[in-house]
Amino acid sequence: MAGKTLEMIGKACKDKKHIKLTVGAINADGKQSIKVFGENGQIENKDYIYEIGSITKTFTASLFAKYFSEGKISLDDSISKYINGLDSEQYHPTLRRLATHTAGYSGSLPLTGKEMVELMFEMMLGGRKQGVFPFDVNFGEMKRILKENKLEDKDYPWQYSNFGMALLGYAVGEVSGKGYHESMNEFCAEDLGLKNTYTGTCAHKNLHGFNRKNQNIGNWIWSKDYMAPAGDISSTAADLLEYARINMLEEKPYLALCHQKHLDSRRCDMGLGWILDRKNNNVLWHSGGTGAFSSYLALDKEKKLAVVVLANYRMMPDRIGSSILKNQQRKGVLAVD
């Protein structure tokens, strides 16, 4: 691993007494290299289970793509097709717009702007305590938000939306007839072959998260709520690297739909769920964060390389992940060897 990357890892781990910072890489042959770092450097490797936050959105879009390939759902379906009781005279966004963050929903939904600011300060200063999940909404609240947000039939400027992706996941759950959680768990285990990837958190399996004061704040406890498709999956570095390999080789042909450019804007290029690198759309990535966890996953479809960074503290994993991927691209080898 390059000295600059090791320096970044050292700074990220400094003063974090309980940190388990996992970095990993994979190539087209399926060879994985995974290392785990603690406060004072590399530690004994273990495939810890982390909350992966918004990387979940790529899984939600992938399951959508599967159902699309089977003719069960369409990009141009309105979300109102899957939610009974909405006003037929009111426009509601298409699934394509939900999957590309162009539906027009505020980035703070389902919270108010004030609640979102308070949450961000809380997470930066101390983290979210175990059992407290800030975005939980029930079905009635979801319908109320849809009715109150009157939108036009157009592509709005790109605005990252947890609420929009949650709606896409709700539609996916309706199509499956099993709901989001059961259908996603089946998809991860049976279609993708990921044995340590599942929705929600499990107290005896998940790694615990810590705040900046090195206090154990456990895990977010996800109920069977309607925001789950935006960020509730737990996984390991090994599973996420295998998921990246399946994507970069498109072993499941329907994944190609997620990799295509569906949005070209001044702010970013978008596949479905995945963010595309503006300079090279063959590079796909997504980051994530929950109360006390941080994550980053990126893959290069052209050079058949991928990288993952996972941590049980809040931090910015993107710089570390980007540095590892650039080393891979330049050297053509697993950069964490």
Structure confidence by residue, pLDDT tens digits, 86-121? 998 999 999 999 999 999 999 888 877 676 676 666
Mean pLDDT of 309-322: 96
Q: In the CATH hierarchy, which top-level class contains the domain 3-331?
A: alpha beta
Q: b/e for 180-194, b at 16 or more Cβ within 10 A?
A: bbebbbebbeeebeb
- Helix extents (H) in 107-188: 113-125, 139-148, 162-176, 180-186
Are 285 and 274 a contacting pair, CB within 8 Å? yes
Mean pLDDT of 48-77: 98
Confidence grade of residue 36 (pLDDT, cut at 50, 70, 90): very high
DSSP state of 294: E
Does residue 176 surpass a pLDDT of 60? Answer: yes
Does residue 331 surpass a pLDDT of 80? Answer: no
Does residue 238 surpass a pLDDT of 60? Answer: yes
pLDDT at position 33 is: 92
pLDDT at position 119 is: 66
pLDDT at position 160 is: 96
Does residue 299 surpass a pLDDT of 80? Answer: yes
What residues does each domain of the chain span?
Answer: 3-331
For residues 3 and 297, give the distance between their C-alpha atoms in angstroms, rounded to a whole number: 21
Closest of 283, 160, 291, 132 to residue 230, by C-alpha: 160
- What residues have CB less than 8 Å from 188, skipping those under 6 apart? 59, 194, 197, 198, 233
Mean pLDDT of 252-273: 94
Question: How many beta carbons lie within 10 A of that of residue 76, not counting itself?
Answer: 8
Mind listing the pLDDT tens digit for each residue in 132-141?
Answer: 556 678 889 9
Does residue 25 surpass a pLDDT of 80? Answer: yes
pLDDT at position 263 is: 93
pLDDT at position 121 is: 65
Mean pLDDT of 284-290: 96
For residues 337 and 335, give the distance between their C-alpha atoms in angstroms, rounded to a whole number: 5
Are 38 and 13 a contacting pair, CB within 8 Å? yes
pLDDT at position 111 is: 75
Confidence grade of residue 66 (pLDDT, cut at 50, 70, 90): very high
What's the predicted TM-score (pTM) here?
A: 0.94
Q: Where is 59: in which H helix or E strand? A: helix 56-69
Closest of 249, 212, 218, 250 to residue 234, by C-alpha: 218
Average pLDDT, the chain: 91
Does residue 150 surpass a pLDDT of 70? Answer: yes
pLDDT at position 123 is: 62
Using CA atoms of 68, 74, 76, 77 in order, give the dihedral in degrees to the nearest 10.
-140
Are 107 and 164 a contacting pair, CB within 8 Å? no
Listed range (23-27, 36-40, 264-268) with the worst mean pLDDT: 264-268
